[in-house]
């Protein structure tokens, strides 16, 4: 039996099993998470995103080494895509980080996206709660090799690093909307390749043109996103990157943005839980109702179409008074 | 989208043997059978393998061994798995395994052996049977 006290004591076996239950939608998870939740809030959560092949896993491997020098306890959640055809997945991010596998103060967990869009898995948020409660100082979340619109990570991480490589486009790629607007730290990896300086220049230009009043919290903080060059393979620039992440966190703490961010995270977590639970409960109630059975009968007889039927059933929902 | 329980398996290459084509192909076949496959990469120590199995909460470990050292490797690994309380994880082995060694491996506690020449279908069926029982 899974015990909360073992998870809180940082037992990796217990934590890993809890994350497994989360992924498998086990009914006991909700209660366990409730017990863990009072113990979260310590960890600094870093999101790492970027297209496939830019070096996310290799860079995380190098970052782990840097953070370990500062004696931080590190957890990594690495998300890889689930095959839409078989439902299976090859989780290969971890293989770049295997030298840390036996370090007892490092916990690496691979996760398949299981059909979730946005670069993460449904289980990622809940898994980060487990890792935070286990006492990890830094949690690094690696997204699926992301496209231009996969910015779910920014609702989950304190600090988002966006990795690119030289020579992937002219200036227009850098000014497109989406993920590039949400980064706190931009990393040009494989910077020994030609045109690295041009990429840095383009990113800096894009940042200088960002307008402050746009939606995202990161932008309200007055933090100017940094652009750094790295070569993850041999560690060049990685120390500076690790320091920049930490100084971003310090900056947020000093200016009370960590609290703001926590409020935003809790609101979005609450809303997503509400969505899941409401849907589950309402569907159950509806499916057990007399009306549902009647309307289903009518659909099968052909006397009502599915659209009108769904409209009819949902019109029966009446729980809260609408105050406006 | 409802997520149903997936089988998670660690495919690992212990020791100095550098032939990983077989391991990779089996990983792909298992992915196509709906498994979540964690691939360890080459040259793994047994400590790395047990730690990875722990952190990844896998159901099965699949070792790929071509070096001829399958008997001592499996014996040591099974002991380490016991120490780590990985009692509910099945150990399976594939690769260059002489038939006369299969009973010895089974006796040690290896749940299934897939020697060279085993078809993908037999491998996935064999793995499924472990989880079902």
**Taking the model in full, what pTM does it have?**
0.90
Question: What pairs with residue B44 in β-bridges?
Answer: B14
Question: Could you tell me if residue A272 is inside a domain?
Answer: no
Query: How distant is the alpha carbon of residue A195 from its chain centre?
Result: 30
In degrees rounded to 5, what are phi and psi of residue A312? -60, -50
CA atoms in the 13 A half-sphere facing the CB of A243: 5
The β-bridge relationship of strands B36-39 and B8-12 is parallel
| B39/A12 Cβ within 8 A | no
CA atoms in the 13 A half-sphere facing the CB of B127: 32
Question: Could you tell me if residue A104 is inside a domain?
Answer: yes
Domain encompassing residue A170: 34-256
Distance, CA of B7 to CA of A284 (rounded, Å): 28
Distance, CA of B7 to CA of B3 (rounded, Å): 12
With an 8 Å Cβ cutoff, is A14 touching chain B?
no
CATH level 2 (architecture), domain B8-132: 3-Layer(aba) Sandwich (3.40)
Distance, CA of B40 to CA of B45 (rounded, Å): 10
Q: Name which of A88, A112, A114 is nearest B33 (Cβ-Cβ).
A: A88
Which residues of chain A make contact with B30, given a CB cutoff of 8 A? 88
| B31/A88 Cβ within 8 A | yes
Q: What is the pLDDT along chain A (324 residues), one digit of tens a residue?
A: 688 999 999 999 999 999 999 999 899 999 999 999 999 999 999 999 888 889 999 999 999 999 999 999 999 999 999 998 999 999 999 999 999 999 999 999 999 998 777 778 889 999 999 999 999 999 999 988 766 556 678 888 999 998 988 887 655 565 465 666 778 999 999 999 998 998 898 888 877 776 654 444 445 567 888 999 999 999 999 999 999 999 999 999 998 888 888 898 899 899 989 988 888 888 888 888 888 899 999 999 999 999 999 988 888 877 666 665
Q: Give the strand order in the sheet containing A74-80.
A: A106-112, A74-80, A138-142, A44-50, A159-164, A185-188, A226-229
Question: Could you tell me if residue A80 is inside a domain?
Answer: yes
With an 8 Å Cβ cutoff, is A306 touching chain B?
no
Which residues of chain A make contact with B8, given a CB cutoff of 8 A? 20
Question: What pairs with residue A80 in β-bridges?
Answer: A112
| A102/B3 Cβ within 8 A | no
Helices (H), chain A: 4-8, 12-23, 29-36, 56-69, 124-133, 171-175, 196-208, 217-220, 238-254, 257-287, 290-301, 306-314
Give the count of domains, chain A: 1
Question: Could you tell me if residue A312 is inside a domain?
Answer: no
With an 8 Å Cβ cutoff, is A108 touching chain B?
yes
Question: Could you tell me if residue A323 is inside a domain?
Answer: no
With an 8 Å Cβ cutoff, is A61 touching chain B?
no
Question: Could you tell me if residue A127 is inside a domain?
Answer: yes
Domain extents in chain B: 8-132
Q: Which residue of A has its CA nearest to B1?
A: A115
Question: Could you tell me if residue A283 is inside a domain?
Answer: no
Q: What ipTM does this complex have?
A: 0.92
Question: Could you tell me if residue A29 is inside a domain?
Answer: no
Q: First vs last Cα of chain B: how many Å apart?
A: 28
Distance, CA of A145 to CA of B39 (rounded, Å): 18
Q: Residue A246: which CATH number?
A: 3.40.50.300
Beta strands in chain B (DSSP E): 8-12, 36-39, 60-65, 90-95, 112-115
């Amino acid at each position: 039996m899974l015990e909360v006290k073992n998870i809180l004591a940082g037992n990796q076996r217990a934590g890993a099993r809890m994350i497994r239950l989360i992924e498998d939608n086990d009914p006991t998870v909700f209660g366990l998470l409730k017990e863990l939740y009072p113990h979260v809030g310590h960890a600094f959560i870093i999101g790492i995103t970027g297209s496939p092949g830019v070096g996310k896993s290799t860079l995380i491997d190098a970052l782990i080494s840097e953070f370990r020098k500062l004696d931080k306890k590190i957890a990594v959640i690495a998300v890889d895509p689930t095959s839409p055809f078989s439902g299976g997945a090859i989780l290969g991010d971890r293989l770049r980080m295997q030298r840390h596998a036996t370090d007892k103060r490092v916990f690496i967990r691979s996760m398949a996206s299981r059909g979730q869009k946005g670069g993460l898995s449904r289980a990622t948020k809940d898994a980060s709660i487990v890792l935070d409660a286990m006492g990890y100082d830094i949690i690094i979340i690696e997204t699926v090799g992301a496209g231009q619109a996969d910015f779910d990570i920014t609702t989950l991480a304190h600090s988002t690093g966006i990795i690119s490589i030289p020579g992937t486009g002219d200036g227009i790629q850098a000014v497109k909307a989406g993920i590039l607007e949400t980064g706190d730290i931009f990393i040009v990896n494989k910077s020994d390749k030609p045109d690295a300086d041009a990429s840095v220049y383009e990113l800096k230009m894009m940042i200088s043109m960002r307008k402050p009043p746009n939606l995202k919290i990161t932008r309200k903080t007055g933090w100017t996103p940094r652009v750094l060059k790295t070569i993850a393979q041999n560690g060049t620039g990685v120390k500076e990157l690790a320091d920049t992440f930490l100084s971003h966190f310090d900056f947020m703490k000093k200016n009370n943005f960590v609290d703001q961010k926590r409020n935003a995270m809790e609101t979005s977590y609450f809303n997503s839980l509400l969505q899941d639970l409401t849907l589950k409960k309402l569907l159950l109630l509806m499916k057990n109702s007399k009306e549902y059975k009647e309307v289903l009968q009518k659909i099968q007889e052909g006397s009502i179409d599915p659209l009108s039927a769904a409209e009819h059933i949902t019109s029966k929902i009446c729980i809260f008074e609408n105050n406006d | 989208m409802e997520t149903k329980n997936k089988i998670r398996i660690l495919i690992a290459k212990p020791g100095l043997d550098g032939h990983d084509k077989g391991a990779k192909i089996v990983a792909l076949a298992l992915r196509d059978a709906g498994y979540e496959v964690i691939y360890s990469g080459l040259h793994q120590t047994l400590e790395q393998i047990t730690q990875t199995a722990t952190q990844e909460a896998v159901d099965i470990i699949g070792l790929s061994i071509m070096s001829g050292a399958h008997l001592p490797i499996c014996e040591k690994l099974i002991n380490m798995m016991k120490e780590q309380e990985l009692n509910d994880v099945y150990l399976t082995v594939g690769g260059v395994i002489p038939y006369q060694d299969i009973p010895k491996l089974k006796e040690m506690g290896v749940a299934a052996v897939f020697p060279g020449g085993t078809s993908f279908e037999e491998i996935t069926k064999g793995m499924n049977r472990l989880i079902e029982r």
